[in-house]
Amino acid sequence: EVQLLESGGGLVQPGGSLRLSCAASGFTFSTNAMGWVRQAPGKGLEWVSTINGDRTYYTDSRFTISRDNSKNTLFLQMNGLRAEDTAIYYCVKEGDLGYFDLWGRGTLVTVSS
């Protein structure tokens, strides 16, 4: 079955760090661009980061995207977290040119003291 399964979300204090993981299955992970999209409670979708080959793209330098092709796993390291980073973080597989054709169920990150 083609799927993405995120983990690593949770409650973190402001200024803290968190590492999200996304386990991919059912497709050739290593040849696909992958990314993260987030959605704050009751708000719209926001692109966070993309990794395509050895190139990475971000909206925010506090975040670092990486991947382990041997384990079919995508990561998002988030540092210096703020209350406004509270959101569901979705792992996404990108289509040929940057649209998102497969979404995980998401993992909730809550930044609060």
Partner 1 sequence: DIQVTQSPSSLSASVGDRVTITCRASRDIRTYLAWYQQKPGKVPKLLICAASTLQSGVPSRFSGSGSGTDFALTISSLQPEDVATYYCQKYDDAPLAFGGGTKVEIK
Interface ranges with partner 1 (CB under 8 A): 35, 37, 44-47, 50, 57, 59, 90, 95, 97-101, 103-106
Reading phi first (left if > 0) and then psi (alpha if -120 to 50, else beta), residue 15 is in: left
- The DSSP string of 83-98 is GGG-EEEEEEEE-SSS
- 34's enclosing H/E stretch is strand 34-39
**What CA–CA distance (Å, rounded) separates 1 from 107?**
20
Spatial separation of the C-alpha atoms in residues 92 and 96, rounded to whole Å: 13
Which one, 45 or 83, has the nearer CB to partner 1?
45
Q: Shortest Cβ distance from residue 29 to partner 1 (Å)?
A: 19
Measured from the CB atom, is 14 or 98 closer to partner 1? 98
Minimum distance, C-beta of residue 97 to partner 1, in the bound complex (Å): 6
Closest separation in Å from C-beta 23 to partner 1: 16
Residue 113 C-beta: closest distance to partner 1, Å: 28
